[in-house]
Amino acid sequence: MATNSALKNQLANKQESVTKQVSAQSLGLKGLLNAPTMQKKFEQVLAKKAPQFMASILNLYNGDVSLQKAEPMSIISSAMVAASLDLPVDKNLGYAWIVPFYDTKKGFHAAQFQLGYKGYIQLALRTGQYKGINVIEVREGELKKWNRLTEEIDIDLDAAISEKVIGYCGYFKLSNGFEKTVYWTRDQVEAHRIKHNKMKDKKALNNVWKSDYDAMAMKTVLRNMLGKWGILSIEMQKAFSEDEQEREIKDITNEAEEMDDFNTGASDSNNEPSVEAEIIDADPKKKLEKKVANKMSAQDSLDIEFEDAQ
């Protein structure tokens, strides 16, 4: 039978394990991706494609100085959204982006998931409801006529007189024969961008708008068209919801998968309580003090009961 002294020593050892908590920021992105439970989470979503996808996250991170300033867990969370949609995060492919930004309200750099126009096309084609779908830039000289009411458009793709982009045209046709054509002038796209710009300087270009304006413009046109007239699968509805959404940065993994959670009252093969060394985002000092206080309070109760039994 266990004694008070043995129980106290056991608790002290477990409290020492708690001090092994580390912050996600100090662990870094590579450390997070190497965590067994993190790898397991990606494997649950992507199966055999998980290692390659996780490697692409690290390559993206290593090649982007701005992204390296972002909270690692925000990068992981954004990448997990792309993984759930089975879209690559290589920014050169244009399916999805992990975009760094500075949160002025919270005072730190974070990353944000953004869906590219190619991502929207890919998700639409997966539904099997679209016979054809596309969006293009329209250059100066190519547009001959556009009727906003009847949506009749006349474009001569061989008539461009310069490389200047004057607008963007989106089109899709469903398997049932329904089709839709939309045309936005560059001024319309710019007005939309300024209206939804979260920066203090509304006219300033940021992130992908700065590096690839046309890609974001085509995405805007395509997203608006699909949102109003397209058939949206559950996967596409999720994409619309997740696109450019700011998320609360929180821990989504644990450093040591093999250790049980002490809070659940789990025990090991020797019936001894154990504490899981966890990755947290905030300063662990206050959380540790609170946890130790709770456990010591519980131990006091055990002492009283043990003495009464004697």
Spans of the chain below 70 pLDDT: 1-26, 246-310
Helices assigned H by DSSP within the chain:
4-18, 24-34, 36-46, 50-62, 72-84, 117-126, 186-196, 207-211, 213-229, 234-242, 284-309
The two three-digit tokens of residue 271, written as one number? 């019936």
pLDDT score recorded for residue 247: 57
Residues 135 and 218 in one domain: yes
Distance between the two ends of the chain, CA-based, in angstroms? 12
Residues 165 and 206 in one domain: yes
Measured CA distances, 25 to 46, 198, 286 (Å): 25, 25, 17
Residues 186 and 267 in one domain: no
pLDDT score recorded for residue 10: 63
> pLDDT for 141-157, tens place per residue?
999 999 999 999 999 99
Give the closest residue to 138 by CA, choosing from 114, 117, 162.
162
> pLDDT for 20-63, tens place per residue?
444 555 678 899 999 998 999 999 999 999 999 999 999 999 99
Into how many domains does the chain fold?
2
Q: What is the model's pTM?
A: 0.69
Residues 261 and 187 in one domain: no
Q: Which domain holds residue 271?
A: 4-20+255-309
